[in-house]
Amino acid sequence: MSGAGPACVAEGQQLAARWAAATPPPSPLRRLGESTARLPDPLSESPHEPIAVPLAQGPEPEVVIVTTDSARPAVTTWDAWADAGQTYHPLTDVELAAFARPFPVRCGHVAVDAGCGTGPFARQLHRFGYDVTGIDFSESALTAARRTPMVGVRYMRHDLNEGDPAGLPLHGIDLVVSRLTLPFLTNPGAWMCRIRERWLRPGGRMYVVIPVVTAQGRQPGGMTAREISNLTRGWAQAVRYELRGSLVCLALRTTAT
């Protein structure tokens, strides 16, 4: 996998600064099991650098309910969505600003967007300086993603329930993104364990976005607060924050050795 050009650091820093400047003053960020307005960033290279992740402003986005007979839609369902141009919790500047704080610019580092859909987050990762592979099992979604080609961004078709993708550099990934994907996997906890134990390099990171639902109001595509909390087991460091639209974000990191 080739790295991004030498200008990517400056460009990524400018993008991160623009989003950070456009967001409102910091809102409370919670480390798991705690509640405080400011915390040291456990994912930062500087352990004393505080971070604050802003919550989204304005009207809450519409929550899309996936109406299928099972919690995991068939590939034909996702193909139909992609062909119709439908989106599921679209990417926003607020989310990107929040992401840029615990995940600093990493020029040339390797990222995988697992469940990339039509590729909006994969492309943004490249703008931040990452060398990116987007993975999805919907060929229609990948076809749509390839309509916006970028050097340093590639896509492959793979079912995440079927082991590791061919050609994956085991223990060689710096960042894995799972945005709105985990609830649709057969065993989310086992999959995240595989990411931690096989995909990520020592000190590697993972970014997870999950719609949170109540146990009484379960719907496909969401997980309860307890289920989300359980996903942090086995990670060296974990930070949890929220975005409007009932989205929970996890910033996770493996041990450095």
- DSSP labels, 30-69: EETT--BS-EE-TTSSSTT-EE-PPPP-SSPPPPPP---S
On whether residue 194 sits in a domain, the answer given is: yes
How many domains, in total, are found in the chain?
Answer: 1
On whether residue 103 sits in a domain, the answer given is: yes
198: which 2 tokens? Answer: 């096989």
Per-residue model confidence (pLDDT) at position 239: 96
CATH of the domain at 171: 3.40.50.150
The Cα angle at residue 173 between residues 169 and 177, in degrees rounded to 5: 125
On whether residue 1 sits in a domain, the answer given is: no
Q: Kindly tell me if the per-residue pLDDT of 144 is higher than 80.
A: yes
Q: Kindly tell me if the per-residue pLDDT of 138 is higher than 70.
A: yes
Q: Kindly tell me if the per-residue pLDDT of 169 is higher than 70.
A: yes
Q: What is the pLDDT of residues 79-97, one digit of tens each?
A: 555 555 556 668 999 999 9
- C-beta of residue 135 within 8 angstroms of C-beta of residue 116: yes
On whether residue 2 sits in a domain, the answer given is: no
The 8-class DSSP code of residue 237 comes to E
The 8-class DSSP code of residue 81 comes to H
Kindly give, in sequence order, each residue whose CB lies less than 8 Å from that of residue 166, ignoring residues fewer than 6 positions away. 158
Kindly state the average pLDDT of the residues 105-132.
93
Can you tell me the distance from the alpha carbon of 182 to that of 161, in angstroms, rounded to the nearest whole number? 11
Can you tell me the distance from the alpha carbon of 133 to that of 156, in angstroms, rounded to the nearest whole number? 7
Q: Mean of the per-residue pLDDT values for the chain?
A: 76
Sign of CA dihedral 215, 217, 223, 229: negative
Lowest-confidence range among 61-65, 75-79, 151-155? Answer: 61-65
Q: Kindly tell me if the per-residue pLDDT of 105 is higher than 90.
A: no
Can you tell me the distance from the alpha carbon of 119 to that of 225, in angstroms, rounded to the nearest whole number? 27
Query: Using 50, 70 and 90 to split pLDDT, how confident is the model at 242?
Result: very high
Domain that holds residue 191: 8-253
Can you tell me the distance from the alpha carbon of 49 to that of 29, in angstroms, rounded to the nearest whole number? 14
On whether residue 160 sits in a domain, the answer given is: yes
Q: State which of 9-18, 78-87, 140-149 shows the largest mean pLDDT.
A: 140-149
On whether residue 216 sits in a domain, the answer given is: yes
Can you tell me the distance from the alpha carbon of 145 to that of 33, in angstroms, rounded to the nearest whole number? 38
171 Rama class: left (phi>0) / alpha (psi -120 to 50) / beta: left
